[in-house]
A = this chain, B = another copy of it.
Amino acid sequence: MDEKIIEELKNIVGEEDVSTDPLEIYVHSRDSAPFQGFADVIVRPESTEEVSQILKLANDYKIPVYPRGSGTSICGGPIPVLGGIVLAMYKMNRIIEFDRENLMVTVEPGVICDDLNEFLAPYGYFFPPDPGSSNAATIGGMVGHNAGGMLALKYGTTKDWIQWLEVVLPGGKVIRTGSNTLKSVSDYDLTKLFCASEGTLGVVTKIGMRVAPKPKYYRTVLFYFDDLRKAGNAIVNVRSSGVVPAALEIIDRISMKTAGEYTGMDLPEAEAMLIVQTDGLVEEQVQREIEICFEAAKKAEPIEWMMAETEEERNKAWAARKAAYPALVRTSPATTCMEDMSVPVPKIPDALVKLQKIPERVNNLVSIGIFGHAGDGNLHPTFQYDEREPEQREAFFKALDIMYREIALPMGGTVTGEHGIGLIRAKYLIDEYGAEVVELMKGIKKVFDPNNIMNPDKGKPWGVIEV
């Protein structure tokens, strides 16, 4: 990159917030997907005005810009595949305003999800979307990918809580979408359009979002099954019980075993474990709801169950689920890829059984652990292999083709429930929607970013990338 541009960037944000240090470049140029890019420069703006000046400069010189929060994404979304500027947003991390009467909070995109909830807790409120990486994930990144999490079944995903956005467009103009009111139908829904746009349309610089009253009571029950399909059936039963539980998670045998060893927990021998949780402001309701869920799940013949009576027991129940991914990372030969397919809930039993058979389809060159938000149809099949071995890498990508093209999509599912398209799922976009929808997305992209500087060459909206 031209030294002159580096100088101009330094003039905008100050010398200390522009970096071309190779180590910084390296760590800012990857996420948890098996890809590596190399940015030319890392820039850390601290205000909307700085972002605006950077995007004007980048647009004038047609330099690619890759917005980035904490880099917790796992689809290759923020990777600077064409070099250029990584726009690290983590210094814009102020909680600007909490309007207790309007139940809305205004934040900058670099605020960490858990930090926001720590701030809200004393007031009795919370921001419900809770990605597994909530201790690191930024709200900006959550907007960019429309993050879900354990509570999405009852509380929805990030976009369900976002009311308005301040966005800097390529060229530097600043717009505001949506409204500070709970309802508005005066614009095309540009707010939701930016949610899950993966940084391809503009840079979000302020976020206005609703918060919810924090539940006072929880009930959690664990079920163990000796058969994966039975566990799947239990999920379908709970979902059609008339109760919407706060969480309904599954962990398969391999994930359980790995997580058990990782946490030192003594988990029973079983093919799958389910966690069902209800929550609310009134104890009788939370209790009654868990009873209904319990009866529904029991019909699927679990071999064992455990009602978490205390907060300690509840935390223990969740510890196994939360350890599933890090435990699989630790036991992997080298590479761990968490995938993100979703299917309609009634297809979950079939999907689980088919997913477990994928490794034998690729000569067992990969292994698979399955866990996820089965209650909303979203599974995170997690592959272990060594990406340095070409045969294994090839087997992994073949496994993805099987999973998305032969399992998820024919079941009426989607290739990504909450992680995003990024690089890794780009080639399935046309499979899912057809070329016409991809053309429309390209058209929308062009309206916002005519010079294609915002996170260019990513799957969304192009859908043409072979990785």
Residues on A lying within 8 angstroms of B by beta carbon are 99-104, 124, 145-146, 148, 152-153, 156-157, 159-160, 169, 173, 175-177, 179-190, 192-193, 195-197, 212-213, 236, 239-240, 242-244, 280-282, 284-285, 288-289, 342-346, 373, 376-378, 412-421, 425, 428-429, 432-434, 436-437, 440-441, 443-444, 446-448, 460-461
Contact = CB atoms under 8 A, between A and B. Distances in A.
Contact of A437 (B175, B288, B446): B175
Given A193-B192, A193-B193, A239-B103, A184 B342 contact: yes
Contacts of A195: 189
Contacts of A432: 186-187
B342 A179 contact: yes
A413 B189 CA distance: 16
28 contacts: A100-B240, A101-B346, A103-B239, A145-B185, A152-B182, A157-B183, A160-B160, A175-B433, A179-B342, A181-B342, A181-B344, A181-B376, A183-B417, A184-B414, A185-B420, A186-B421, A186-B429, A186-B432, A186-B433, A187-B429, A187-B441, A188-B461, A189-B195, A192-B192, A212-B244, A281-B288, A284-B285, A444-B447
A305 B281 CA distance: 25
Contact of A441 (B179, B188, B344, B441): B188
A289 B190 CA distance: 35
A142 to B, nearest CB: 11
A343 B179 CA distance: 9
Given A180-B412, A242-B213, A282 B284 contact: yes
A237 to B, nearest CB: 9
Contacts of A428: 186
A27 to B, nearest CB: 25
Contact of A342 (B183, B289, B344, B414): B183
Nearest to A147: B185
A284 B153 CA distance: 23
Nearest to A285: B285
Contacts of A345: 101-103, 182
A342 B182 contact: yes
Contacts of A145: 185
Contacts of A159: 189, 192
Given A124-B242, A188-B460, A346-B99, A183 B433 contact: no
Contact of A101 (B188, B236, B284, B460): B236
